[in-house]
Structure 1
Amino acid sequence: MREDSSDYRALFLGEVAMMDARAPVEFDKGAFPGVHNLPLMDDLERQKVGTCYKQHGQEAAIELGYRLVSGEIKARRVEAWVAFAKANPEGYLYCFRGGLRSQTVQRWLREAGVEYPRVLGGYKAMRSFLLDTLEQAVEQCQFVVLGGMTGTGKTDVLAQLSNALDLEGHANHRGSSFGKRATGQPAQIDFENSLAIDVLKKRAAGIEQFVLEDESRLVGSCNVPLSLHQGMQAYPLVWLEDSFQNRVKRILRDYVVDLCADFVGLYGERGEALFAERLLQSLDRIHKRLGGERHQRLQGLMQAALEEQRRYGLVDLHRGWIEGLLHEYYDPMYAYQRESKAARIEFAGDQAAVVDYLRDRLARG
């Protein structure tokens, strides 16, 4: 029989299968990548037991829990746990604190003929371990920030580096007003957990120097951890450069062609209309900063481009509003940021030069 475990590092590094016995409402607020939610109690049952605990104490609450999860309900849940255990013989189970719920699941599994270990300390202890992992990395590791104008391909650079931490990838958002993807963003806790596990794995591989894209505190709805974001205001900066036309081409690919394809892949025939709606909403999001006249003019260009795309499948008209936004909005803003951060810039160049520089920097330690 395998022992219960508190080796959280090994669990995350080994991508060990885990069964989360918390209620769905707890799971939705935050979980770990790849974990399966097979609760002891559903949300309503948990609520009833919690109310009973407050009014009548622990013993009455436990008794109510056993009454609520009994008979056919219990049988179905035990069947699901047994199936998970057999499909994942090296896995573990846990609840919030590693207490009564996971012990109950473990005992009922044993009664069904399956010995299955649990994670001591449960979700709370593993979550604390991951938060500590992030804080230790900020304190102990070196970081370099990758900056550059909109559309220079910073994400493309990160994809070529073994020591990159892709904040936008973990947040499932491109980081700008147009950054929403066809799929939604993770919960804040999920974002932090995913980022921490990424850091853990890279440090286990011997990496002690990381590259991050220059981000604001918010990546969509996800907050960059405070200590990391504070550090990003002082870390050395590498500036990525590219021609205006290459940037337009890349934005057209990412924010029009690929995003439309994602919507169509998810929603079928409705996808194109939903994509068009998303693009127009993104422009509306910066209405005040653009001013009424500019917003109206760029909106007209965007609507004409969307109509041509809808009717003929052509996307070249989108270059009009993209070029306008870059010239009149994004480039002046980024030029100001570059000037304000000039003292921190230790290298500037095109994509190939920046990738080579950052790889050499990592090799030098």
Structure 2
Amino acid sequence: MLETIEYGELEGNYVLVDVRSPGEFEEGTIKGAINIPLFDDEERKIIGTIYTRESVDKAKRIGLEVASKKLLHIYDEIKELSKQYNKIVLFCARGGMRSGVLGMLLSSLGINTERIHEGYKGYRKFVIEKLPELNDGVQYVVLHGNTGVGKTEILKQLECDGFDVLDLEGFANHRGSLLGTVGLGKTTSQKAFESKIYHMLRDSKSSYVFIEAESKRIGNTTIPDFIFQKMKSGIHIFVDADIDFRTNLIINEYTKFENCNSEIIDCLKRLEKYIGEKNIDRYCKAVLESEYEVVVSELMIKHYDPMYMHSAGKYDYALEIKVMDIKTATQQIENWFRVT
């Protein structure tokens, strides 16, 4: 008999195996899971359509036919995993057919196998339930400052130095601005975003977590309201830097990717209704000629800084620093934190 376990009860030397399709896995999975799919995305789509529009029995038969051709390969993969782990823990979308059938087969072949109750859906329910509790237990130390002052770089250095950091932009795979996707590829789904936050807070070493001030929406993801409100009541630090430092930092960040110019131009065109067609044409021409300085400095001074400073005065800052270089600025924050 295949045992079913709640995600929150997992313990010991186990490995999570996500048997859903690659597309489902990419949208969001359980941290550390390995994807060994029973169906690819197209097979899943076909079987699902038959299930809903024709017949459950027909869908089951086609599913078995498709899966049977892969079982030997799947068995070999999982057999190798069983040499490293004491237990194989399977999950699918809702803990139903895919993980159930495969789990019973593996168990009958002598592999110690369990499946997660309600599958990925059960894990999501667990995350949604536990995330507010974890959030209640932390105090956020929030970095504020204009675009390009180095907030993200400071957070990375803080993390390297052993401090707890919640990198919302990193989790969203978006820099939180109109040009935020340049060079980064596909943004994170809301489900995966929330899961990353959960695991970071669960694994935090202290009750103080450094974080960057953000708008509630980052790319395609939204910061849960209870976290967003907790950030507002946190400890606030203002980070500043001169325009040359900011310009160089942004240019280095945004132009290190292949095809960066075309992506930058695509993003710039979305600003047309705010700063006019003539300015956009001028900026696009400058980008194509690698004259980034004028574009970056003007966008900061005329567009981003006025928008940011509108909200910057809402907070009392416990510390204000001027960044000359990232390492020194990070050290200032760490020294301040240790005596606070």
Q: Same fold (TM over 0.5)?
A: yes
> For structure 1, which segment, 324-333 or 240-249, has the greater mean C-alpha deviation from structure 2 after superposition?
324-333
1:178 is displaced (CA, Å) by 1.5
Question: Any idea what SS the aligned residue of 2:209 has?
Answer: strand
Number of positions where the alignment pairs a residue of Structure 1 with one of Structure 2? 329
1:142 is displaced (CA, Å) by 1.5
CA distance in 2, matches of 1:70, 1:223: 37
Match of 2:282 among 288, 297, 300: 297
Contact 1:146 1:214 in 2 (8 A): yes
Question: Any idea what SS the aligned residue of 1:238 has?
Answer: strand
Match of residue 225 from structure 1: 224
1:243 is displaced (CA, Å) by 1.6
CA distance in 2, matches of 1:353, 1:23: 45
Deviations 1:112-137 (A, max 9, x none): 34233333442222222222332113
Give the aligned residue type for 1:245: D
1:175 is displaced (CA, Å) by 1.3
Give the aligned residue type for 2:277: G
CA 66–86 in structure 1, closer or farther in 2 if over 3 Å, else same: farther
Question: Any idea what SS the aligned residue of 2:297 has?
Answer: helix
Match of residue 236 from structure 2: 237
Match of residue 311 from structure 1: none
CA distance in 2, matches of 1:116, 1:231: 40
Q: Does 1:278 align with 2:263?
A: yes
- RMSD of aligned C-alpha atoms? 3.1
Question: Any idea what SS the aligned residue of 2:318 has?
Answer: strand
Match of residue 158 from structure 1: 155
Higher helix proportion (structure 1 or 2): 1
CA distance in 2, matches of 1:211, 1:246: 23
Match of residue 105 from structure 1: 102
Contact 2:154 2:329 in 1 (8 A): no
CA 50–300 in structure 1, closer or farther in 2 if over 3 Å, else same: closer
1:22 is displaced (CA, Å) by 2.5
Contact 1:23 1:46 in 2 (8 A): no
Give the aligned residue type for 1:288: K
Question: Any idea what SS the aligned residue of 1:327 has?
Answer: helix
CA distance in 1, matches of 2:63, 2:243: 66
Contact 1:78 1:108 in 2 (8 A): no
CA 181–17 in structure 1, closer or farther in 2 if over 3 Å, else same: farther
1:91 is displaced (CA, Å) by 4.3
Give the aligned residue type for 2:322: D
Question: Any idea what SS the aligned residue of 2:214 has?
Answer: coil
Question: Any idea what SS the aligned residue of 1:146 has?
Answer: strand
CA 125–31 in structure 1, closer or farther in 2 if over 3 Å, else same: same
Match of residue 168 from structure 2: 167
Contact 1:97 1:121 in 2 (8 A): yes
Q: TM-score, normalised by structure 2?
A: 0.83
CA distance in 1, matches of 2:21, 2:154: 40
Match of residue 330 from structure 1: 304
Match of residue 35 from structure 2: 37
Q: Percent identity?
A: 25
Give the aligned residue type for 1:194: K
CA distance in 2, matches of 1:172, 1:228: 18
Contact 1:106 1:115 in 2 (8 A): no
Q: Does 1:146 align with 2:143?
A: yes
CA 296–156 in structure 1, closer or farther in 2 if over 3 Å, else same: same
CA distance in 2, matches of 1:171, 1:295: 27
1:55 is displaced (CA, Å) by 6.2
CA 90–243 in structure 1, closer or farther in 2 if over 3 Å, else same: farther
Match of residue 123 from structure 2: 126
CA distance in 2, matches of 1:235, 1:218: 19
Contact 2:141 2:210 in 1 (8 A): yes
Give the aligned residue type for 1:198: M
CA 63–337 in structure 1, closer or farther in 2 if over 3 Å, else same: closer
Match of residue 75 from structure 1: 72
Question: Any idea what SS the aligned residue of 2:114 has?
Answer: coil
CA distance in 2, matches of 1:32, 1:318: 41
Structure 1 stretches (4+) deviating beyond 6 angstroms?
none
Give the aligned residue type for 2:247: V
CA distance in 1, matches of 2:250, 2:9: 39
CA distance in 1, matches of 2:53, 2:332: 61
CA distance in 1, matches of 2:194, 2:52: 32
Deviations 1:58-116 (A, max 9, x none): xx468636743565344344334334434555542222333443232122113334233
Give the aligned residue type for 1:243: D
1:48 is displaced (CA, Å) by 3.1
Contact 1:85 1:116 in 2 (8 A): no
CA distance in 1, matches of 2:246, 2:13: 38
Match of residue 266 from structure 1: none
Contact 2:251 2:293 in 1 (8 A): yes
Give the aligned residue type for 2:298: G
Give the aligned residue type for 1:249: N
